[in-house]
Structure 1
Amino acid sequence: MNNIVANFAQILEFARQLNLPVEKKRGIIREYLQTKFIHDLYRLPQLKKLSFVGGTSLRLLRNLPRFSEDLDFDNLELETQRLEKLFQTVLEGWKRENITTEWIVNKTKSGVYFEIRLPDLLFELKITSNPKEKLRIKLDQAEHWRGQQTEVMLLNRFGFIEHVVTNTLNEVLVQKLVAYVRRVETQPRDLFDIVWLFAQGARLEEKFMVVNGVTTVLEDAREKFAQEGNPVSFGRRLQPFLFAVSAVQKLALFGSVLGQLAILDQEHS
């Protein structure tokens, strides 16, 4: 038996302290493992060259009020082979803790991403009745972003504490808008996160947009929203990730947030 199974009651107690819905055990154990992975990773050398970004970084470092699935990173000049070695070093430590994992490397036209699979954990924790179901955590890294003004934030949850490199809120807002515009299939979480980021005071970072050639992203986002809108299906798809069902109403504010960003952009120019 590994420590996760033995200490699951304590993990759920930490979740209560974090105001997580304890009935959502699948989301809680995923977030615990994400936290543990980021904690163990950023204890290693050379991690100043890796910026933790995306929805999960907002969740773990800034308390975004929803569960998130993937671990996303901006690769700041780390060789892919070196990065994979760092990831595997973390899992070697997990092996010494009797945590069984599978390591998957996926190569696509757009790049390389990795996946951690835990083959037995959900069944051992009685979260699933299917002994073959695996918990999966995708690790994605992007090398194309430039000009990040990274900052160091304190990861502090589930008994783990560590300094973590991340992008500024303004840069994450730009990246989220780009994700919304470029996805073939819109992800409702992008709309939710953009509304939340705006409420936290995030604004478009002009220099970051210029360096990365995305100066029209707000215009593109408004055009896409005018065509696509906010269908009811977005709310249904987002709800399983939310701590409070009523938070789905934030999606209705997306168009207004885009409008406010446009006004601020005009005032700035």
Structure 2
Amino acid sequence: MIELLKQQFSPEMSVEEKINRLREALQLGALKIIYDRGYFDSVAFVGGTALRFLRGLKRFSEDLDFSLIHGKKYKFSALVPEIENGFKLQGLQIETKTEENKCVHSVFLKFAGLLKTLGLSSMEKQKIFIKIEVDTNPPRGWHAESTLINKIYLINLAHYDLPSLYAGKLHACLFR
């Protein structure tokens, strides 16, 4: 996995660009694990990162946002260890911190030592993180579809269609 991550960098990139590219690669790794474990039968990828990966939006986001579309197979308590184990199998040190409230389930994935290993920090304890959120009570009226992406990994993403994605972004702009 470390070699795969190093391949995402070019010599002319600044450290900040490399860190953003690293975070994006980790996000794709999380999406791959979620896909491989069958969770896209239950959740749809939404939000800014979905727009970035699916539509080329230039804005960078640290979060992976999902909305529950079918609750029968979804269990957040099972998803988090699957993601954690998926990254550990790839040789990465990961810590997780979960938060569950009535409507939103969140997990922070913290990768210790990775920035130092990749030469992006001199501090061993500096961590890079991504946040995953699942809205278990999304607004009605969305439409889901799936798209096959080939960015580091081949992943068939279940996601909201473009009007539903933009409605979600508009809601975020108006009500945050």
TM-score grouping bracket, smaller chain normalisation: 0.7 to 0.9
Q: Which runs of no fewer than 5 residues in structure 2 stay unpaired?
A: none
The structure that is strand-richer by fraction is 2
Say how many residue pairs are matched.
Answer: 173
Q: Does residue 155 of structure 1 match 2:152? A: no
Q: Does residue 11 of structure 1 match 2:8? A: yes
Counterpart code for 2:112: P
If asked which structure has higher relative contact order (CA below 8 Å, sep 6+), I would say 2
The structure with the largest alpha-carbon Rg is 1
Please identify runs of 4+ aligned residues in structure 1 that moved more than 6 A.
none
Determine what percentage of the aligned residue pairs are the same residue. 28
Distance 1:60 1:84, change over 3 A: farther
Aligned-residue offset at 1:96 = 1.8
Q: CA-to-partner distance for each residue in 1:153-176, whole Å, 9 max, x for gaps?
A: 112112x11211000110111111
Q: Does residue 100 of structure 1 match 2:93? A: yes
Q: Does residue 137 of structure 1 match 2:134? A: no
Contact 1:42 1:163 in 2 (8 A): yes
**TM-score w.r.t. length of structure 1:** 0.59
Question: What secondary structure is seen at the aligned counterpart in 1 of 2:36?
Answer: coil
Q: Which runs of no fewer than 5 residues in structure 1 stay unpaired?
A: 184-269
Counterpart code for 1:133: Q
Q: Does residue 43 of structure 1 match 2:40? A: no
Question: What secondary structure is seen at the aligned counterpart in 1 of 2:8?
Answer: helix
Q: CA-to-partner distance for each residue in 1:197-231, whole Å, 9 max, x for gaps?
A: xxxxxxxxxxxxxxxxxxxxxxxxxxxxxxxxxxx
The structure that is helix-richer by fraction is 1
- Which residue does 2:51 correspond to in 1? 58
RMSD across aligned positions (CA): 2.3
Contact 1:117 1:136 in 2 (8 A): yes
How far apart are the structure 2 equivalents of 1:112 and 1:180? 21
- Which residue does 1:72 correspond to in 2? 65
How far apart are the structure 2 equivalents of 1:30 and 1:112? 21
Contact 1:39 1:155 in 2 (8 A): no
- Which residue does 1:28 correspond to in 2? 21
